[in-house]
Amino acid sequence: DIQMTQSPSSLSASVGDRVTITCQASQDITNYLNWYQHKPGKAPKLLIYDGSNLETGVPSRFSGGGFGTDFTLTISSLQPEDVATYYCQQFDILPPIFGPGTKVHIK
């Protein structure tokens, strides 16, 4: 199975800060990488698919990048409603493994 790692595991930043989360795959997955946002008690939400495509309705402060094995999710200006856990997920090869998650807090 492909292994997915994320860093950091948690972060704390101020409102308005630029925040970047990284995700690394254990082998080349081209751009078959999704990012999800998950708030406690809520349904997970797709933010980014195919590495860099913004899902419809997702605020433009979210962006994704990368190719091959290294990927990033960036929030250009952190907002209070962005407090959540963020997961990357590869969908190149079954099983579609999720990363361990990054918890984002507000300072």
Partner 1 sequence: EVQLVESGGGLVQPGGSLRLSCAASGFTFNRHSFNWVRQAPGRGLEWISYIAGSSDTVYYADSVQGRFTISRDNGKNALYLQMNNLRAEDTAVYYCARDMVGVGRVVCDLWGQGTLVTVSS
In the sheet that holds 4-7, the strands lie side by side as 4-7, 19-25, 70-75, 62-67
Q: Does 11 contact partner 1 by CB under 8 A? A: no
From residue 55, alpha-carbon distances to 35, 37, 50, 75 in Å are 10, 12, 10, 14
- 46 lines the binding site for partner 1 (CB under 8 A): yes
Integer angstrom CA distances of residue 96 from 4, 26, 83, 93: 10, 13, 25, 6
Tokens of 64: 């994704």
With CB under 8 A as the rule, give the number of residues binding partner 1: 25
86 is a site residue for partner 1 (CB under 8 A): no
Binding of residue 52 to partner 1 (CB under 8 A): no
Smaller CB separation from partner 1, 63 or 98: 98
User: Which is nearer to partner 1, 75 or 99 (by Cβ)?
Assistant: 99
Tokens 């997702």 correspond to what residue? 58
**Minimum Å distance from CB 67 to partner 1?**
17
Applying CB under 8 A, the residues found at the interface with partner 1 are 32, 34, 36, 38, 42-46, 49-50, 55, 85, 87, 89, 91-92, 94-101
